[in-house]
């Protein structure tokens, strides 16, 4: 189909001069003025207004919308507007640009990408600027970005308001010069760049300090790099390397060639083109009234492509592309309306619709917004924009009091620490390099390990000698008098106790960690159960000697064996429950030592660990109480006093173990437990068996039944 056949679209261009009153009056003139201005009356049938394309600034479009919204005249806007205006004229207002929220997301992504967390903000001193700050500031805070200052720029300041102009210029320049930020976010409109350049020129005419800033500028899509009028000779070097968001645009076929062929000297007289040409080239065309006021005439050789880019761009900018789309959107909407009206009239009345009878409100339903939702970023530089410089190695960030959360003080790291340090490394003396921590554990190769291991082996062989002595003299009275089977059980369990300490001196692994605590707990429980059984057996034996006593049936080996087995099995069950629920496992302790990683066993469950120790403590206390109560029985057959002293020593060792164990870390913790095992086992061995060995080996003349009955010997006293 033919596009708008036999229809020519005309246009009027009006300047708002950034003045609301002028915008309102111009809009009314557009609607009603013909030969004279008569509000709400249209006297010119040739002037058929179908749509309005709003200005680049949202204030201008809002002022227009407030007027034309009553008459449902469609307006195509280039910027987002306030919610209040949208509510009033939503049916007749159409947008050619995406929502600004897309830019906010892009700004945050950009700042995060380059790690710019300390920025300055310039914004327009109007409703749009306040709306931008209300939306943007919470987003910046949520993403860890701070603003060093917020400078509001007046859209237009008349020269008579010189006080306001001076205040804005001085505050803007001071913020840029004194703040330590290198990144500025600018939210504005098409002439914002011109305003910023004017401020810098007034504050620094010779451009000495401005050139030293070395800043990067982030500009929103509404801003255009343009100079006009007396600013044509200025440069925009201070914005070199700026990052600008841009509304998506495409190359328009034939647009550049069209610009190259424009020439106001041709026969066709276009007043608008002549005015633009004179402003761009700062000259006057062949008009008698201008020749008297201008000394420079425009040359035929003048071409638009020869002008600097800030003055005139040969490529279609994002704003120009939006206007281009807006014109075509209106044209397509009008075409759709004509087709719809033509088909309807042809069907119902058999005749075509007449274009002059079309009303502007009729095409509101045929608008389709063609804008893209993507944005494009162009960048050239990568400066650093932080509230503080990065902390040097050997320093860490401490929150600075009275400043924003992006700011911090660099404080020297503690001994052995370095900034960005991994847990498995430590710093050198200069705190500039990381050194890998070696893996250490308590082993036989170091002095402490050699000492503990040697002591464990010595006590093991000593216990073996005692066991061998008792086996050799098993038929002697002193051995028989103290229950040989319990004595052998106690000595074997003590041997295993000494050997279990060697598990703590081995490299922690999965098997070692699983075995060492349960082995220690079970062997000690057997030893203490044997001591308790010996004491109870003696008490029961003396109670059975009383006439008519019911305790005689308990006298014998069955009582001793049942006591040892029952109390030992209870500890075995506790250890099995421990290993099945929260078994110990090897782990690397990187915190205890500054320059070492300690390989150790994590007990898995502290509850079960202390339950095992607590159970042994209960058995030891029970043995101590029974032995203490039986200390006054006949000495010849009684070793209760020795058991009392051995249990007293045993309990003293393990009571002191807990504070020592909890107050140490790393290898020292393991050494404390090994020492407690050796010392408590040695206490049992020494207090119970050394007096007997003294009689067996050194005083065999006392090892007779008659001697034991007749006399009190020191070994039994």
What are the tokens at 524? 């000690």
Give ∠ CA 364-368-374 in degrees, rounded to 5. Answer: 140
> Comparing C-alpha atoms, which of 81, 105, 103 is closest to residue 93?
81
| 597: enclosing H helix or E strand | strand 597-602
DSSP state of 697: I
Place of tokens 């090897």: 586
Give ∠ CA 371-58-364 in degrees, rounded to 5. Answer: 55
Handedness of CA 111, 116, 118, 122 (dihedral sign): negative
Residue 381: its pLDDT value, please?
A: 46
Residue 156: its pLDDT value, please?
A: 63
Is the separation of the CB atoms in 683 and 650 below 8 Å?
Answer: yes
DSSP 90-136: TTTEEESS--THHHHHHHHHHHHHHT--EEEEEEESSHHHHHHHHHH
Place of tokens 């804005």: 168
> Comparing C-alpha atoms, which of 608, 605, 606, 620 is closest to residue 655?
620
Residue range 44-66, pLDDT digits in tens: 656 778 888 887 777 787 788 88
Residue 10: its pLDDT value, please?
A: 82
Q: What is the crossing angle of helices 484-500 and 447-472, to 10°?
A: 170
Residue range 447-497, pLDDT digits in tens: 888 999 999 999 999 999 999 988 888 888 777 776 788 889 999 999 999
Residue range 518-558, pLDDT digits in tens: 999 999 999 999 888 887 877 776 666 665 555 555 566 77
Rounded CA separation 505/452 (Å): 8
Place of tokens 């492509």: 305
Is the separation of the CB atoms in 445 and 623 below 8 Å?
Answer: no
Is the separation of the CB atoms in 653 and 677 below 8 Å?
Answer: no
| 291: enclosing H helix or E strand | helix 288-291
Backbone φ and ψ of 204, nearest 5°: -140, 80
In angstroms, how far is CA 530 from the centroid of its own chain? 59
Please list the ranges in the chain whose pLDDT falls under 70.
1-2, 34-38, 42-46, 80-91, 155-162, 165-166, 203-214, 225-238, 241, 266-269, 286-295, 341-357, 367-383, 415-423, 430-432, 482, 541-556, 631-639, 703-717
> Comparing C-alpha atoms, which of 149, 97, 83, 151 is closest to residue 118?
149
Note the maximum CA span of the chain.
156
Domains of the chain (ranges, CATH numbers)? 20-97+317-341+358-379 (no CATH), 100-244 (3.40.50.2300), 255-306 (no CATH), 395-436 (no CATH), 447-710 (1.20.1070.10)
Is the separation of the CB atoms in 592 and 432 below 8 Å?
Answer: no
Residue 462: its pLDDT value, please?
A: 94
Place of tokens 């005419």: 205
Give ∠ CA 150-210-198 in degrees, rounded to 5. Answer: 70
Is the separation of the CB atoms in 44 and 34 below 8 Å?
Answer: yes
Average pLDDT of every residue of the chain? 77
Residue range 632-678, pLDDT digits in tens: 665 544 567 778 888 888 888 888 888 888 888 888 888 999 999 99
């Amino acid at each position: 189909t033919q596009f708008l056949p036999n229809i020519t679209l005309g246009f009027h261009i009006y300047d708002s001069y950034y003045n609301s009153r002028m915008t309102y009056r111009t809009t009314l003139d557009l609607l009603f003025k013909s030969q004279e201005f008569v509000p709400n009356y249209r006297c010119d049938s040739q002037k058929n207004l179908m749509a309005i394309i709003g200005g680049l600034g949202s204030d201008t479009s809002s002022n227009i919308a407030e007027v034309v919204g009553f008459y449902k005249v469609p307006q195509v806007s280039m910027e987002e507007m306030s919610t209040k205006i949208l509510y009033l004229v939503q049916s007749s207002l159409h947008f050619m640009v995406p929502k600004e929220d897309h830019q906010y997301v892009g700004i945050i992504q950009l700042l995060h990408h380059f790690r710019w967390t300390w920025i300055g903000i310039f914004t327009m001193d109007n409703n749009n600027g306040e709306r931008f700050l209300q939306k943007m500031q919470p987003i910046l805070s949520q993403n860890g970005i701070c603003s060093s200052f917020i400078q509001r720029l007046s859209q237009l300041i008349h020269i008579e308001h010189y006080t306001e102009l001076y205040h804005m210029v001085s505050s803007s320049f001071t913020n840029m010069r004194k703040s330590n930020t290198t990144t500025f976010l600018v939210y504005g409109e098409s002439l914002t760049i011109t305003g910023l350049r004017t401020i810098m020129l007034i504050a620094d005419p010779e451009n000495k300090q401005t050139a030293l800033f070395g800043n990067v500028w982030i500009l929103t899509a509404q801003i255009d790099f343009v100079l006009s009028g007396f600013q044509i000779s200025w440069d925009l070097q201070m914005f070199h390397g700026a990052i600008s968001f841009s509304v998506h645009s495409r190359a328009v076929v034939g647009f550049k060639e069209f610009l190259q062929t424009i020439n106001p000297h041709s026969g066709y007289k276009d007043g608008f083109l002549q005015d633009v040409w004179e402003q761009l080239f700062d000259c006057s065309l062949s008009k008698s009234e201008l020749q008297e006021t201008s000394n420079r005439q425009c040359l035929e050789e003048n071409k638009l492509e020869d002008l600097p880019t800030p003055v005139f761009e040969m490529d279609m900018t994002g704003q120009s592309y939006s206007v281009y789309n807006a014109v075509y959107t209106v044209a397509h909407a009008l075409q759709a309306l004509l087709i719809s009206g033509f088909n309807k009239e042809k069907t119902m009345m058999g005749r075509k619709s007449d274009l002059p009878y079309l009303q502007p409100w009729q095409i509101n339903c045929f608008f389709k917004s063609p804008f893209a939702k993507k944005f494009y970023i162009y960048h050239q530089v990568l400066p650093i924009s932080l509230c503080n410089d990065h902390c040097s190695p050997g320093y860490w960030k401490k929150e600075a009091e009275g400043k924003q959360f992006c700011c911090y003080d660099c404080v020297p790291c503690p001994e052995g620490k370095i900034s960005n340090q991994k847990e498995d490394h430590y710093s050198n003396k200069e705190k500039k390099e990381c050194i890998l921590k070696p893996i250490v554990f308590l082993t036989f190769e170091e002095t402490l390990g050699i000492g503990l291991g040697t002591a464990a082996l010595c006590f093991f062989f000593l216990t073996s000698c005692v066991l061998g002595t008792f086996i050799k003299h098993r038929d002697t009275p002193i051995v028989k008098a103290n229950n040989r089977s319990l004595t052998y059980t106690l000595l074997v369990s003590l041997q295993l106790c000494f050997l279990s300490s060697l598990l703590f001196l081995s490299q922690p692994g999965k098997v070692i960690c699983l075995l060492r605590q349960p082995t220690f707990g079970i062997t000690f429980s057997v030893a203490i159960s044997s001591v308790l059984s010996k004491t109870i057996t003696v008490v029961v034996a003396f109670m059975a000697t009383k006439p008519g006593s019911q305790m005689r049936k308990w006298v014998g080996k069955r009582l001793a064996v049942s006591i040892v087995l029952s109390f030992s099995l209870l500890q075995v069950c506790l250890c099995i429950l421990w290993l099945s629920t929260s078994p110990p496992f090897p782990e690397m302790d990187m915190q205890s030592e500054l320059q070492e990683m300690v390989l150790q066993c994590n007990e898995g469950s502290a509850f079960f660990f202390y339950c095992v120790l607590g159970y042994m403590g209960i058995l030891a206390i029970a043995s101590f109480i029974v032995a203490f109560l039986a200390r006054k029985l006949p000495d010849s057959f009684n070793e209760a006093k020795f058991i009392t002293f051995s249990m007293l020593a045993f309990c003293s060792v393990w009571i002191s173990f807990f504070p020592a164990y909890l107050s140490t870390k790393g290898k020292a913790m393991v050494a404390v437990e090994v020492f407690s095992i050796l010392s408590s086992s040695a206490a049992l061995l020494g207090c119970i068996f050394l007096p007997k060995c003294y009689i067996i080996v050194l005083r065999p003349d006392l090892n007779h039944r008659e001697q034991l009955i007749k006399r009190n010997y020191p070994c039994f006293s």
